[in-house]
């Protein structure tokens, strides 16, 4: 699933990184799982963390019971001899083309069970504390995804946009997780291949279209397997969390201080579970629930997008430029109107003026709408894009939103967000569905969760069924017994990481403190709530956690 703060991809769930704010050009938007991300419907369903058992209801019930009992086990506090060379590294910092930032490379073992089997080279960036005030160490940030570039996030947003008092006291640091961006990125398809993939019909009407969708998933998976056969087996969240501990040591910090958004909350919670004694001040914003199997994760995220869409619908009909209904039109009717528009695109895509000749298909339009659900600041842009597409047969505005979600540039190049998203999701959890027949049986539940997006998100959850590497992870609880207070932030109408996930994670963590933002959008820190920002700043700067259950608006 994609829970980024900014995007999503094809892996059976929506992504989870923090999406950039619409029109800002920054990295704080829509990462998962998810702080910053959104991408097409194929991508959308993929950026969610794929974590669900397949099979019959009894199988799912068994998996759920096992997840309830399974708890992430902490690693021994002492460093194994075979890993000591990694822990004793001294980064060679250098300029990296962005004023005020330094970059370095840190090595980690490809396989922690066989440290002698080779290395992974991790890209790290930092901006040193500006002062005044005593330096508090390093503050690592991650925008989610999985697959969002933490370095891109720190250089374009966190390192220059976090509160000045935080940047004054902390070195702002980011490490791209293994397989992501600067850290030996996974690659699956070239630009034209991704263009074809993102246009694939994600709501098949018959056997021929189902065969086409399965073929697209197979082509995507085969491309990933051909490019990175060894790395694909070692891009799990557990391994990425262990890498962060090596980076912590290389930075000279006794404890890890961290702000993770969307999927970055899963990464941060995993770190705390593995190294509770080294967990410093951790903020997990837009939290994920690691105990859920994939199908339930996808289903609950689908409901989350429906909640966000209903908020958009209510706001839209109060505006004179809403193309989906007039004042008093119910959210249900707004949804039916949008679904009817998608149906027209399914039959006849519309022009976009794109240099590569792409037309707006149902899948690209759906991705564009989903991208705007991550941040209510994008709602005006969405209304304008829908008006152009529905009334003028001009799909350029929705294509822009879709491209931003997929991180496609004007030259037709894609970042590796979607590739890494699938690689991590498909390794972390067993696939949500194994066959198209399983998806068909689940369609009523997904349509109930979201009449607008449910069908597409259900089919998107099939992608890991064709992955070339078997999952190594399972759903589990994270308790992190012995860790210092951990702040878990949930937004009540978050589309990508439903609020109940934050409540669940805060309840699992032995030292979890739930901080609630009553509002719209994906994640809460730095989104305009002075209450949220003051509370998190006090924790980061003075170590004062909020009272469990504190609410802000």
Residue from 171, 253, 428, 494 carrying the catalytic annotation: 494
Rounded to the nearest angstrom, the gap between the alpha carbon of residue 389 and the centroid of all alpha carbons in its chain is 28
Q: 282 and 496 in contact (C-beta within 8 Å)?
A: no
Residue from 262, 311, 415, 529 carrying the catalytic annotation: 262
Q: Which of 11, 17, 64 is nearest to 405 (CA)?
A: 17
**CA torsion angle for 139, 170, 30, 491 (degrees, to 10)?**
80
User: Distance (Å, rounded) from C-alpha 309 to C-alpha 201?
Assistant: 22
Q: 19 and 483 in contact (C-beta within 8 Å)?
A: no
Q: 539 and 545 in contact (C-beta within 8 Å)?
A: yes
Q: Is residue 176 annotated as part of the catalytic site, yes or no? A: no
Going by the DSSP 8-state scheme, the letter that residue 489 receives in this structure is E
Angle made by CA atoms 149, 155, 159, in degrees to the nearest 5: 115
Q: Is residue 119 annotated as part of the catalytic site, yes or no? A: no
Angle made by CA atoms 235, 236, 242, in degrees to the nearest 5: 95
Burial class (CB in 10 A: 0-12, 13-18, 19+), 410: exposed
Going by the DSSP 8-state scheme, the letter that residue 47 receives in this structure is H
Residue from 183, 388, 522, 529 carrying the catalytic annotation: 522
Q: Is residue 522 annotated as part of the catalytic site, yes or no? A: yes
User: Distance (Å, rounded) from C-alpha 346 to C-alpha 543?
Assistant: 53
Collapsed DSSP state (helix, strand, coil) of residue 339:
helix
Q: Any idea which residues carry the catalytic annotation? A: 262, 494, 522
């Amino acid at each position: 699933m994609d829970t980024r703060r900014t995007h999503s991809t094809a892996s059976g769930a929506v992504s989870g990184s923090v999406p950039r704010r619409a029109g800002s050009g920054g990295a704080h938007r829509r990462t998962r799982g998810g702080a910053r991300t959104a991408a097409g419907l194929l991508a959308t369903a993929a950026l969610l963390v794929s974590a669900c058992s397949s099979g019959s209801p009894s199988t799912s019930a068994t998996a759920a019971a096992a997840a309830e009992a399974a708890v992430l086990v902490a690693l021994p506090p002492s460093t194994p001899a075979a890993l000591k060379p990694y822990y004793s590294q001294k980064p060679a910092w250098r300029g990296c083309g962005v004023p005020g930032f330094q970059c370095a490379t840190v090595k980690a073992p490809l396989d922690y069970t066989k440290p002698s089997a080779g290395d992974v080279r991790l890209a790290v960036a930092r901006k040193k504390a500006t002062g005044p005030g005593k330096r508090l160490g390093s503050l690592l940030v991650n925008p989610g995804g999985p697959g969002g570039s933490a370095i891109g996030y720190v250089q374009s947003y966190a390192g220059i946009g976090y509160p000045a008092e935080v940047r004054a006291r902390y070195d702002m640091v980011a490490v791209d997780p293994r397989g992501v961006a600067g850290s030996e990125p996974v690659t699956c398809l070239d630009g034209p291949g991704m263009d074809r993939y993102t246009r694939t019909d994600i709501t098949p009407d018959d056997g021929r279209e189902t065969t086409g969708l399965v073929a697209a998933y197979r082509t995507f998976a085969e491309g990933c397997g051909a490019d990175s056969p060894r790395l694909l087996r070692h891009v799990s969240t557990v391994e990425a969390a262990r890498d962060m501990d090596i980076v912590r040591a290389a930075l000279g910090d006794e404890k890890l201080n961290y702000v993770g958004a969307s999927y970055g909350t899963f990464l941060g919670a995993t770190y705390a579970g593995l190294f509770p004694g080294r967990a410093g001040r951790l903020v997990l914003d837009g939290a994920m629930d690691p105990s859920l199997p994939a199908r339930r994760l996808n289903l609950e995220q689908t409901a989350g997008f429906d909640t966000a869409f209903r908020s958009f619908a209510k706001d839209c009909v109060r505006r004179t430029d809403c193309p989906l209904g007039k004042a008093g039109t119910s959210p249900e009717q707004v949804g039916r109107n949008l679904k009817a528009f998608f149906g027209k695109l399914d039959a006849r895509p519309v022009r976009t003026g794109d240099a590569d000749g792409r037309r707006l298909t149902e899948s690209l339009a759906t991705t564009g709408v989903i991208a705007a659900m991550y941040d209510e600041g994008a709602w005006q842009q969405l209304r304008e894009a829908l008006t152009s597409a529905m009334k003028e047969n001009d799909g350029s505005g929705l294509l822009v939103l879709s491209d931003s979600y997929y991180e496609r540039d004007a030259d037709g190049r894609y970042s590796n967000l979607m590739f890494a998203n699938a690689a991590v999701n498909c390794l972390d959890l067993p696939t949500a569905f194994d066959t198209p027949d399983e998806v068909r049986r689940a369609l009523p539940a997904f349509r109930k969760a979201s009449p607008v997006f449910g069908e597409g998100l259900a089919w998107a959850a099939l992608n890991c069924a064709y992955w070339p590497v078997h999952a190594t992870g399972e759903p589990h609880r994270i308790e992190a017994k012995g860790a210092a207070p951990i702040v878990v932030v949930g937004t009540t109408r978050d589309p990508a990481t439903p609020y109940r996930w934050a409540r669940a994670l805060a309840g699992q963590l032995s030292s979890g403190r739930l901080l609630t933002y009553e509002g719209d959008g994906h994640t809460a820190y730095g989104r305009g709530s002075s209450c949220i920002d003051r509370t998190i700043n006090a924790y980061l700067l003075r170590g004062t956690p909020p009272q469990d259950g504190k609410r802000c608006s």
